Amino acid sequence: MVSNKEKEKKTLLMKSNQQSWSRHLRRYWQLYTMMALPMLYFIIFKYVPLFGNILAFRRYRPGMGPYGVGWVGLRYFKSFMQDPIFWRAFRNTLILSFGNLIINLPLPILFAILLNEVSNLKFKKLVQTVSYMPRFISTVVVIAILNELLSPSSGLLNNFLSTAFGMRPIYFMNEPQYFRWLYIFTDTWQFTGWTAIIYLAAITGISQELFEAAQIDGASRIQQIIHVTIPSISPTIMVMFILNVGRMLSLGFEKVLLMYTPSNSHVSDIIDTLVYRTGLANQNYSYATAIGLFSGVIGVILVSTSNAMSKKFAGDGIY
């Protein structure tokens, strides 16, 4: 039995917590007001649409209600599990994601470390500005530029290969063997400088005393990077790794769709384009919802697994 004294203690503790919360809210009300709009965005555009996932278990008929007309259970899940087109899209998504992760995760880290070693402040700011500017270019414009550069008739690369080596023009954007490399290259060009800002911020937060102690011990600049810089920014690296793993099944539908052609479809068709084609083009909304829900569940599993591994091996995670 709980004594009266313990009940009184709990009551007083609750009142104290409420009072401290109200004081905290009055003190920082400006920050909470600023936070209201982003929270509203996430509620409306991220959490409310979750209710639409019920279509994965119900048959949808246009004009007969937004949540379907009849319960079908796991029918649509069984259908796409037996569909070779789905497994092709799933395989393409994983291959493209792993290639992107292997190449474009370490590059911003290396770029940030090298940029941090530049002593000329003006040159450093110039390189940093030039490197993150592509992030603000629309994906449509990026692919349009790529099409112009790689055009078989007037493209800069084909003209160079023809003039220098006498090679016949290659339609790079149409050939399946070049699709994945072009996708990864455009990501590298667009996001390396932008992502490097995060690592530069982490590097500037490292105590200079650690570098001074390493210099006293006779460590070279390379040794300082290996033994001071990289271990100090490892929590940031792990957080970025977990976030990238969580996005493995949602690569960026817009870019893939812009680069998609019938000739490269067997390597460029990913889960997002399959959902688009199935749901919007073919108007099979329930089937598309089931595929999207499946990829979302896999994404949650990947994030949870990578976060658990990060906590186990690096001692830090995102939650």
Lowest mean pLDDT among 21-35, 147-161, 290-304: 21-35
Q: Which CATH class is domain 79-313?
A: mainly alpha
Quote the percentage of the chain above a pLDDT of 70.
92
Question: Tens digit of pLDDT for each residue in 285-313?
Answer: 888 888 888 888 888 888 888 888 777 77
Lowest mean pLDDT among 16-25, 75-84, 296-305: 16-25
Burial environment of residue 142 by CB neighbours within 10 A (0 to 12, 13 to 18, 19 or more): middle
3 state SS of 67 = coil
> pLDDT-derived band of residue 111, with 50, 70 and 90 as boundaries?
very high
Position 166 pLDDT exceeds 70: yes
Domain ranges within the chain, ordered by starting residue: 79-313
Burial environment of residue 273 by CB neighbours within 10 A (0 to 12, 13 to 18, 19 or more): buried
Give the pLDDT confidence score for residue 8 in this predicted structure.
Answer: 63
Give the pLDDT confidence score for residue 1 in this predicted structure.
Answer: 46
Give this prediction's pTM: 0.81
Mean pLDDT of the chain: 85
Question: Tens digit of pLDDT for each residue in 33-64?
Answer: 888 888 999 899 888 888 888 888 888 877 77
Taking the C-alpha atoms of residue 290 and residue 53, their distance in angstroms, rounded to an integer, is 8
